[in-house]
Amino acid sequence: MISEVLILVISFVVLLSIGVPVAWSIGLSCLFTMLASIDSLAAFTTVSQRMATGLDSFSLLAIPFFILAGQIMNQGGIANRLINFAKALIGSLPGGLVYVNVIAAMLFGAISGSAVAAASAIGGILGPPMEKENYSREFGAAINVTASTTGLVIPPSNVLIVYSLASGGVSIASLFLAGYLPGILMGLALMLVAAVWIKKKKYPAGNSTSLGLLVSTFLKALPSLLLLVVVIGGIVSGIFTATEASGIAVLYCLVLSFIYRELDSKTLYNVFLSSVGTTAIVMLLIATSMSMSWVMSYENIPQTVSEALLALSDNKYVILLIINLLLLFVGTFMDMTPAVLIFTPIFLPVMQNLGVDPVHFGIIMVMNLCVGLCTPPVGSVLFIGVGVAKTTIQKVIKPLIPLYIVMAIVLLLVTFIPAISLWLPNLFE
């Protein structure tokens, strides 16, 4: 057993370090491990079967639909209307465009469920006006990168659907409800850092907003905001499942984009093409990650890790702190989807033994990995945000540090105060 575990870990690390894509690294390390346990034909058959079986889930159908809905929002004028509403709401404050970035990222990220889409859309739209008004390009990029991750906690969120699958069926509706308060708290914390930075730089107040403009922009953004009510309301009330809600989200966004007249047949073709490419990458990650989860279970790794952690301490809070540190480390070199699929079966049994609610732990896990999206060397949102802002990672790291600190503080609050996550799910039970 020990030799197989070493093969799994060492081969995975080596493949990642030489630049092999994450999905291929996971799949090949699984194959190498099984080759050490059984004959070659059975190893190839087992790994391929587990990859296929891992995708055989009705819940996973929600992911390509939500990806498509996010792409339609990005191209169909929905992001612009949300940003204009955020500008009218708080753009008149000193340094208002920074607050607008956070609010718009929270709104768009929540609706699209994609941090990458939010960072790309919000950064692309707000970047030029922020630069024109002499905002720091690096701090603007840092705020955009960190704020974009709030959409992975505020529902609907693809990664929460993946966690539901990996955990063996934790309620998606409960996970969605649990994400609201932690996501909003994270956004407010980022705005607090922005406020300190704005005061230090003495940015003047923006253009004043009239009541008429506020009402006008709100009415234009209202159909987009209603999507959250339709999707989450339908899931929580039991009218439809998360998978059915994702299909409704696509139809709603399509109709809305054609009403706005910002989506023609050529753009729609590119939207479908981009969505297919993203879906293929995500599904390959899920397939190989499910295979690795099975291999680890076959080698009794979850039980071994569980026994090792419980041997360290039987204090729930100490174990939670250790797991937080481990997940923060994992997030620096692994994408969210495989990390959730691989480490949920390892850590969740430990948490359940200590009395931690699976819904609460799901939010903890996602928030930990959100930090990883903003950190090198594998932070996909960091690379997108830096690229859109036309700056470098080296320059953005310094303004990111205080944002990392407040993200860690909010993470600790959510970890050690379960009511932040569980109050809404318990309210709707």
Give the pLDDT confidence score for residue 419 in this predicted structure: 94
Instruction: State residue 2's pLDDT score.
Output: 62
At a CB cut-off of 8 Å and minimum separation 6, what does 45 contact? Answer: none
The pLDDT assigned to 417 comes to: 94
93 within 8 A of 61, measured Cβ to Cβ: no
pLDDT, residue 413, reads: 96
DSSP bridge partners of 205:
94
CA gap 349, 337 in Å, rounded? 19
Give the separation between CA 360 and CA 365, rounded to whole angstroms.
Answer: 9
Q: What's the pLDDT at 112?
A: 65
- pTM: predicted TM-score of the whole model, two decimal places: 0.84
Q: What is the DSSP string of 148-194?
A: HGGGGTSSS-HHHHHHHHHTT---HHHHHHHHHHHHHHHHHHHHHHH
Burial of 404 (0-12, 13-18, 19+ CB in 10 A): middle
Helix axes 265-298, 40-54, angle to 10 degrees: 130
Q: φ and ψ at 153, to 5 degrees?
A: -100, -40
Contact between 388 and 124 (Cβ < 8 Å): yes
Averages of pLDDT over runs of 10 residues in the chain (429 residues) are 75 83 85 78 80 79 82 76 78 75 77 72 75 79 88 84 86 90 93 86 70 83 81 81 84 84 81 85 84 80 78 86 90 82 88 91 93 79 82 85 93 95 88
278: Cα separation from own chain's centroid: 14
- Minimal CA–CA distance to 143: which of 182, 201, 108, 104? 104
CA dist 315 → 303, 304, 356, 415, 418 (Å) = 18, 18, 12, 14, 16
CA-closest candidate to residue 71, choices 118, 104, 105 = 118
pLDDT of residue 422: 94
- What DSSP element (H or E) covers 206? none
Nearest to residue 67, comparing CAs of 222, 198, 249, 210? 249
pLDDT in tens, 305-325: 777 887 888 888 899 999 999
**Are 140 and 101 contacting, i.e. CB atoms less than 8 angstroms apart?**
yes
Per-residue pLDDT at 357: 94
**Prior bond of 377 cis (ω within 30°):** yes
Tally the C-alpha atoms within 13 A of residue 401's C-alpha that lie toward its C-beta.
5
pLDDT in tens, 244-285: 888 888 888 888 888 887 777 788 888 888 888 888 888 888
pLDDT value at residue 31: 85
The whole-number pLDDT of residue 410 equals: 95
